[in-house]
A and B are shown apart, each in its own frame.
Chain A
Amino acid sequence: MKVVAVMPAYKEKDRIYAAICDIRPHVDQLIVVDDGSADGTVEEARRGNAVVLSHAINRGQGAALKTGTIAAQRSGADIILHIDADGQHDANAIPRLLEPLQRGEADVVFGSRFLGVSAEGMPFVRRVVLVLGRVFSRVILGIPRHMTDPQSGLRAMTVESSRRVDFQQDRMAHCSEILRLVTRSDLRWMEVPVRVSYTSDTLAKGNQTSDAFKIVWQLFLGMFQ
C-alpha cells in the first residue's frame, strides 16, 4: 500500500530537513505544503527530496493540510499520513499508526499523547489546556469520551476516508473538525500512543495557550458557513 505523508510547513527552515529525514524511511512519498514561508523552508524541503507545493500566501495549517491531502489523493496514495513539520512527533510511532490501516482494522488512526507514552517537555499549562479541550470536545462537539487527545496533529487514514473527511477549517480548528467528522461518520477509528517532544523552539512557534479561545471562535463561526 502506498503511504504518502503530508506535512504542512510554515517558517520551518531550521527543523524541516531533520523531520523529513526521520519520516522518510516510513513512507513512500512525502508532500510538503509550504504555507507562504519566506525563510528557505521550500529549499530545505527540496533538499530532503520531498514533493513541495507552495501556498502563495499564508492560509493556515488546516488549509495547507487539505492542499496536501488533495495532492496525496491525486498521487495515488492508499494511506495518507498527516504529520507536523517541526519534528515534534516521534517518527518511530508511524508504523503503529499505519498497521491498523494496513491490516484493514481501522479507517482512521489518531496518535494520542495520553495513552501511556509521556510527552517530553510538555508544559503544565499546556497539559491543563488539553484536558479542558477534551472536556470542550465532549460537551460541545459531541466527541466520544474515550477519545483521549482531540488536538493531536498526527493521524493516518485510508484514501477513501480522506475523501469523506472533507474538513473546511483553514486554521487551528481543523483538528477538532476532522475529529468531529470522523466520529460522526461510520468510519472505524482508533487511537494509538505516540510520543511528542516539546522544545523551547517548538513551544515558541507552536500553538499558544490562548489559541484555545481562537479555536472555539473559529469552530463557532464555521457553524454559520
Chain B
Amino acid sequence: MLFQLVLSAAFLSSLWLVWRRRQQQAVSGAVASGWTLGVIVGLVVTWYPDTASVIANIVGVGRGADLIVYVGLVLLFVLVFQLHVSHVRLERQLTKLVREEALRGLENESRFAK
C-alpha cells in the first residue's frame, strides 16, 4: 500500500509539472498528452497490477512484471538515444563557436595575403 501511494504521488507530481510547463509553453501539447496517457497507464497498473498481466497476455509476453520491465527498457533506450542526439547538436553548436573564433584569426595572419 505504501509503495502504491509513493508511486501515485510521483506520477501525479510529474503530471502536475508537465501541465504547468505546458501552460508556460515549455512543452508541446503532444508531449503533455503523451505524458498524461503514460501516467494514467502507470496509475492503473500501480493500483490494479493484474491489468499488466492482461496486457502482457494480449501481447504475448507472459507476466505483467516482465511487460513492465520490457516497456521500461524501451523507454530508457529512447531516452538515452535522445540524449545522444541532443549531445551531438550541442557539440555542433560548440564547433561553430570555436570555428568563428578561429576564422577571426585569419585576418591577423600576415601570410594570408600571399
Binding site for B on A (CB under 8 A): 28-29, 33, 49-57, 59-60, 63, 66-67, 70-71, 74-75, 168, 170, 221-222, 224-225
Tell me whether A221 and B102 are in contact (CB under 8 A). no
Residues of B within 8 A of A (CB): 84-85, 88-89, 91-92, 94-95, 98-99, 101-103, 105-106, 109, 111-112, 114
The 6 A-B residue pairs whose C-beta atoms are closest, nearest first, are A53-B102, A63-B95, A224-B85, A59-B95, A67-B99, A51-B109
Whether A67 contacts B102 in the complex (CB less than 8 A), given A168-B92, A170-B92, comes out as yes
Complex: A109 Cα to B70 Cα, angstroms: 50
Known: A29-B114, A222-B88. 4 other contacts (CB 8 A): A50-B111, A53-B106, A56-B101, A59-B98
Identify the closest chain A residue to B89 (Cβ).
A225
- How far in angstroms is the closest Cβ of chain A from B33? 23
A-B contact pairs, 27 of them (CB 8 A): A29-B114, A49-B111, A50-B111, A51-B106, A51-B111, A51-B112, A52-B105, A52-B109, A53-B102, A53-B106, A54-B102, A54-B105, A55-B99, A57-B98, A59-B94, A66-B99, A67-B99, A70-B99, A74-B106, A168-B92, A170-B95, A221-B84, A221-B85, A224-B85, A225-B85, A225-B89, A225-B92
Q: Which residues of A contact B98 (CB under 8 A)?
A: 55-57, 59, 63
Q: Which residues of B contact A224 (CB under 8 A)?
A: 85, 88
**Are the C-beta atoms of B85 and A53 separated by less than 8 Å?**
no
Cβ contacts under 8 Å, A71 to chain B:
103, 106
Chain B hits for A50, CB < 8 A? 111
Q: Which residues of A contact B94 (CB under 8 A)?
A: 59
Rounded to whole angstroms, the CA-CA distance of A20 and B88 in the bound complex is 33
Give the Cβ gap from B95 to chain A, nearest Cβ, in Å.
Answer: 5
Which residues of the other chain, B, contact A67 by a CB distance below 8 angstroms? 99, 102-103
**B78 CB to nearest A CB, Å:** 12
B103 near A53 (CB under 8 angstroms)?
A: yes
Question: A170–B91 contact, CB under 8 A?
Answer: yes
Q: Give the docked Cα–Cα distance between A157 and B49 (Å).
A: 64
Q: Give the distance to chain B from A5, nearest Cβ to Cβ, in Å.
A: 13
Interface contact A75-B85, CB-CB below 8 Å: no
Which chain B positions have C-beta within 8 A of A74?
Answer: 103, 106
Indicate if the CB atoms of B92 and A55 lie closer than 8 Å.
no
Q: Output the nearest chain B residue to A34 by Cβ-Cβ distance.
A: B102
Report A7 CB to chain B, min CB distance, Å: 14
Q: How far is the CB of A213 from chain B (nearest CB, A)?
A: 14
Residues of chain B within 8 A (CB-CB) of A56 are 98, 101-102
